Amino acid sequence: MARRRPARSRPLPAESRSLLPRSARWPWIALAVLPLSACSGSGQSTLTPYGDGARRVAGLWWLMFGISLFVIAVIVVLVLWAATRRRRPGVRARMDTGQRYVTITGIILPAIVLVFVYVVSLPTLRAIGDPKDPGQLTIDVLGHQWWWEVSYPGSGVVTANEIHMPTGRTVHLRLRTADVNHSFWAPQLNVKTDLVAGRTNHLWLRTDRPGVYRGQCAEYCGLQHARMAFHVVAQPPAEFAAWLTGQARPAPVPSGGLAAQGLRVLESGSCASCHAVRGTTANGRIGPDLTHLASRSHLAAGTVPNTRGYLGGWISNSQTIKPGNRMPPQPLGSEQLQALIAYLETLR
């Protein structure tokens, strides 16, 4: 796995290629009603779990799916049988009240199945919760309409919409919201947990597989709820440590030229009132921290890839890309815009 590539060219669907054989491990799926074997797995599928929690839950799903399929099959067969059987004329319908039959099939049998499923689920519930791991890494996630602020306590690192985490180590997310309720959901890693106004919630992630896992807000949070995604980037510990060190540095000071001009645009224009770039005078707290913007793969919470074209389009009028987002159109001249983009591209 070439993890050295720059973040922005990291191909997101990388997992999907390696996943076909995985779902093929369950050949009986193909026999099932669900044509799930057609799913090649995506960056956001609960059926291609890579986190410890998600894997447990997926196991639970396949168990319940099997039981459900059986129950549905029984009912369908009984309905069809009742519909198609022919009685000889003259045979009267049976008039018994059938209480014993209903007690057995309607109460006792379902109760056994229900108790079984319930009991089986309890260890999983425990497993997805607090592992009480003293070596865990804590990350703060703050939901905003409609993006994610991510900070690493103790390191000064603040970023947005991209959560880097080390593999093989428990990561503890402290989930808070700056405005309305949101829900943090990276289905391949673990279950979702809401970000509730006035409260702090907790979620634990752990995976051994480096990769990029897409997630998105799962609690309706207003106009652009649909465009509030994020990526969790799991890296081997050394790589993660390097990333964290890099992110902790202030923004590089441009040596001159277009980029330096761009920094002036940023500091003197309206950018600085909402955005922060550590190491400059821009220290706004309303929008995402831009200190290492160029290291991120996407813009606007997973809405568009972080390329020069989209970046320029976003700055001049983000409302055409994500209508209703909090960033007003920036009436910059073409030269200013070019300079600003040139500067932003140095923020690696």
Partner 1 sequence: MSIDNATHAYGVAEETAGGRVGRHWPEEHGLRAWVTTVDHKRIGRRYLVTAAVFFALAGLDATALRTQLITPNGELLTPEAYNQLFTLHGTAMIFLFATPMSFGFGNFLLPLMLGTRDMAFPRLNAFTYWVFTFAGVILFASLLFGRAPNGGWFAYVPLTGPKYQPGINMDVYSLGLLFLGVSTTSGSINFIATALKLRAPGMTLNRVPIFVWALVVTAFLLIFALPPLNTANAMLFLDRRFGTRFFQPEAGGDVVLWQHLFWLFGHPDVYIIVLPALGIVSAIIPVFSRRPIMAYPLLVLAMVAVGIISFGVWVHHMFAVGLPQLSLTFFSAASMIVTVPSGIQMFAWLGTMLTGRVVLGVPMLWAMGFLVVFVTGGVTGVMFGIVPFDQQVTDSYFVVAHFHYVLFGGAVFPLIGGVFYWWPKMTGRLTGVRGGRWSFWLVFAGFNLTFFPMHISGLLGMPRRVYTYPGGLDWDLWNLLSSLGAYLLLAGLLVTLGTFAHSLWKGGQAPPDPWGGETLEWATASPPHPYNFPVIPTVHSVHPLWDQGSLDSFAEGARSRDRVLAEGHELLVTSELDAEPEVALEMPEHTPVPFVTAVSLFLAVLGLLLGVYVLAVAAGVVAVLVIGRWLWPRWSRREAGHAPGEKARETAEQDAAAEREAEKKTEKAGEKGAGA
* Interface with partner 1 in residues 42-71 (CB under 8 A): 42-47, 53-54, 56-57, 60-61, 64, 67-68, 71
**Separation of alpha carbons 271 and 277, rounded Å:** 10
User: Applying CB under 8 A, which of residues 76, 112, 253, 286 lies at the interface with partner 1?
Assistant: 76
User: Applying CB under 8 A, which of residues 125, 242, 253, 286 lies at the interface with partner 1?
Assistant: 125
**Separation of alpha carbons 67 and 79, rounded Å:** 19
Q: What's the distance, Cα to Cα, between the start and end of the chain in Å?
A: 21
Neighbours of 297 (CB within 10 A): 19
Nearest CB to partner 1, comparing residues 176 and 292: 176
Question: Is there a contact between 305 and 296 (Cβ–Cβ < 8 Å)?
Answer: no
Q: Is 87 in the site for partner 1 (CB under 8 A)?
A: yes
The SS3 of residue 104 is helix
The SS3 of residue 77 is helix
Least distance from C-beta 36 to partner 1, angstroms? 7
Least distance from C-beta 107 to partner 1, angstroms? 6
Q: Is 37 in the site for partner 1 (CB under 8 A)?
A: no
Q: Is 39 in the site for partner 1 (CB under 8 A)?
A: yes
Nearest CB to partner 1, comparing residues 13 and 329: 13
Please identify, among the stretches 78-86, 162-170, 236-244, 273-281, the one whose residues bind partner 1 according to the rule CB under 8 A.
78-86
Number of residues that bind partner 1 (CB under 8 A): 98
Residues 157-186 close enough to bind partner 1 by CB under 8 A:
175, 179-181, 183, 185
Least distance from C-beta 189 to partner 1, angstroms? 11
One DSSP character per residue, 143-200 reads EETTEEEEEETTTTEEEESEEEEETTS-EEEEEEESSS-EEE--TTTS--EEE-TT--
**Separation of alpha carbons 45 and 189, rounded Å:** 10
Residues 297-316 close enough to bind partner 1 by CB under 8 A:
302
**Separation of alpha carbons 55 and 149, rounded Å:** 27
**DSSP β-ladder status, 162-166 and 229-235:** parallel
Burial 26-59 (b: 16+ CB within 10 A, else e): eeebeeeeeeebebebbbebebbbbbbbbbbbbe
Nearest CB to partner 1, comparing residues 212 and 347: 212
Q: Is 124 in the site for partner 1 (CB under 8 A)?
A: yes
Q: Is 23 in the site for partner 1 (CB under 8 A)?
A: no
Question: Reduced to 3 DSSP states, what percent helix, strand and coil does the chain have, rounded to the nearest 5?
Answer: 40, 20, 40
User: Applying CB under 8 A, which of residues 252, 323, 329, 331 lies at the interface with partner 1?
Assistant: 323
Q: Is 4 in the site for partner 1 (CB under 8 A)?
A: no
User: Applying CB under 8 A, which of residues 24, 30, 32, 197 lies at the interface with partner 1?
Assistant: 197
Question: Is there a contact between 171 and 137 (Cβ–Cβ < 8 Å)?
Answer: yes
Q: Is 2 in the site for partner 1 (CB under 8 A)?
A: no
Please identify, among the stretches 37-45, 204-212, 313-321, 338-346, the one whose residues bind partner 1 according to the rule CB under 8 A.
37-45
Residues 91-120 close enough to bind partner 1 by CB under 8 A:
93-99, 101-103, 105-107, 109-111, 114-115, 117-118
- Give the alpha-carbon dihedral of 301, 305, 309, 314, to 10 degrees: -10
Nearest CB to partner 1, comparing residues 93 and 334: 93
Residues 230-289 close enough to bind partner 1 by CB under 8 A:
none
Least distance from C-beta 110 to partner 1, angstroms? 4
Which of 334, 319, 341, 329 is closest to 266 using CA atoms? 341
User: Applying CB under 8 A, which of residues 4, 25, 83, 154 lies at the interface with partner 1?
Assistant: 83
